[in-house]
C-alpha cells in the first residue's frame, strides 16, 4: 500500500468494458509521480488516500472482473504533506 494525493478525475468517453463504470482518479506521490487509480469510495481532489495495488486492487474495487492494478482503499482523515516528508526522511 502507498499513501498518495488525489490530483483530479480522469474522464474517458471510450474505455475497455473491463473497467466497467468505475471512477478513475489521478493520484500523485510526494515526488509528483502520477498514476491512475480506480475510485470506489468517492474521493475529492486534495484528499490524501491509501491505495491497494496488484491483484489485491481488484478485490478492493469490489469486483474481481474490473481491470485495475491500483484502487483507492480509503481516505486519510489526518494526513498532510508534512507528515509525508517526515515519513520519507
Q: What is the CA radius of gyration of the chain?
A: 13
Cβ neighbours of residue 84 closer than 8 Å, sequence gap 6 or more: 3, 30, 48
Tell which residue, 46, 44, 66, 39, has the closest CA to residue 55. Answer: 66
pLDDT at 15: 79
CATH architecture of 2-12+21-88: Beta Barrel (2.40)
> Using one digit for the tens of pLDDT, what is the confidence trace for 41-88?
999 999 999 999 998 888 888 888 888 899 999 999 887 777 666 665
Q: With 80 as the cut, is the pLDDT of residue 8 above it? A: yes
Task: Let me know how long the chain is.
Answer: 89
Asked if 8 and 46 touch (Cβ cutoff 8 Å), the reply is no
Mean pLDDT computed over 17-26 = 84
Higher pLDDT, 18 or 86: 18
Q: How far apart are CA 87 and CA 20, in angstroms?
A: 36
Task: Enter the C-alpha cell of residue 86.
Answer: 517526515
Amino acid at each position: 500500500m502507498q499513501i498518495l494525493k488525489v490530483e483530479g478525475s480522469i474522464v474517458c468517453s471510450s474505455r475497455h468494458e473491463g473497467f466497467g463504470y468505475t471512477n478513475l482518479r489521478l493520484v500523485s506521490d510526494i515526488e509528483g509521480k502520477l498514476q491512475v487509480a480506480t475510485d470506489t469510495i468517492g474521493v475529492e481532489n486534495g484528499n490524501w488516500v491509501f491505495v491497494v495495488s496488484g491483484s489485491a486492487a481488484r478485490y478492493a474495487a469490489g469486483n474481481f472482473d474490473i481491470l485495475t492494478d491500483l484502487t483507492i482503499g480509503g481516505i486519510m482523515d489526518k494526513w498532510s504533506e508534512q507528515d509525508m516528508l517526515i515519513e520519507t526522511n
